[in-house]
């Protein structure tokens, strides 16, 4: 303790806000440092040591995660087991199933990734952006990859896999959409080719026969065409903590009319 005080000043200095890093408390009793001005490393070190003393954090931090605009370090203060939640563990992806009026499936060939150069036709897929709703991501990816405008119908299935991108788990939502336009325009950066393909031709691909996910796409298309399958539709809700709208995905046909 004395060595810490010697490096910064007297103990009373720790109560002088000018000798502390600018910070605010968060909702969980933690401290968020907000710096709007740069400073040299020596002054930052001294202010950090003084601030740590005031915050009663006398041991080291551990890295939690990093984003483009900040790095988060954490330290558990109480003499109990550390229960700080881990960083985000999953990535969210979508696959878009779209049938036209004559039962053809919208498919693409990719320019990049593990399917590059294989000649395999697949449904449009993509990653949900931060803060983006699943149904909006499906509509966006279809437009970007194929030029087709579409309405979202429902979520018809999901798949979870682990140890994927950067060691994260992956949740992949299969979504059914309804086309609003039919003129194809491929995305030059990512897509090699795009077409409307007869469903039976899609299913006949050897890769589809061996791949459970692709085969499920075919089976879901058949079930939808026959009217034997109902998926989950986004229903807007408010959490009660504010005005922000979120969505719960439910079978609206099975709910009482007053709740839909």
∠ CA(216), CA(219), CA(222), 5° rounding? Answer: 150
Residues sharing a CB contact under 8 Å with residue 27, sequence separation 6 or more, in sequence order: none
Q: Which of 11, 25, 104, 144 is catalytic?
A: 144
- Is the dihedral angle over the CA atoms 96, 102, 103, 107 positive or is it negative? negative
144 is catalytic: yes
In Å, what is the CA distance from 7 to each residue of 14, 43, 75, 138? Answer: 12, 11, 22, 56
- C-alpha atoms less than 13 angstroms from C-alpha of 47 in its C-beta half-sphere: 17
Residues sharing a CB contact under 8 Å with residue 125, sequence separation 6 or more, in sequence order: 93, 94, 95, 96, 141, 172
Mind telling me the catalytic residues? 144
């Amino acid at each position: 303790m004395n060595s810490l005080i010697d490096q910064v000043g007297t103990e009373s200095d720790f109560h002088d806000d000018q000798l502390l890093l600018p910070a605010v408390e968060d909702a969980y009793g933690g401290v968020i440092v907000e710096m709007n001005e740069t400073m040299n490393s020596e002054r930052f070190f001294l202010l950090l040591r003084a601030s740590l003393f005031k915050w009663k954090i006398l041991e080291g931090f551990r890295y939690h995660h990093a984003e483009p605009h900040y790095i988060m370090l954490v330290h558990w203060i109480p003499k109990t087991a550390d229960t700080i939640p881990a960083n985000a563990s999953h990535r969210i992806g979508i696959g878009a199933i779209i049938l036209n009026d004559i039962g053809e499936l919208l498919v693409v060939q990719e320019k990049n990734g593990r399917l590059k150069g294989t000649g395999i036709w697949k449904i449009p897929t993509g990653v949900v952006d931060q803060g983006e709703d699943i149904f909006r991501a499906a509509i966006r990816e279809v437009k970007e990859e194929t030029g087709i405008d579409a309405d979202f119908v429902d979520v018809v299935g999901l798949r979870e896999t682990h140890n994927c991108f950067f060691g994260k788990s992956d949740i992949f939502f299969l979504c059914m959409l309804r086309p609003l336009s039919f003129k194809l325009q491929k995305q030059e950066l990512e897509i090699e080719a795009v077409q409307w393909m007869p469903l039976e031709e899609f299913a006949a691909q050897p890769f589809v026969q061996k791949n459970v996910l692709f085969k499920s796409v075919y089976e879901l298309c058949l079930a939808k065409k026959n009217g034997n399958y109902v998926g989950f539709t986004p229903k807007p809700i408010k959490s009660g903590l504010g005005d922000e709208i979120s969505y719960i995905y439910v079978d609206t046909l099975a709910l009482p009319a007053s709740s839909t």
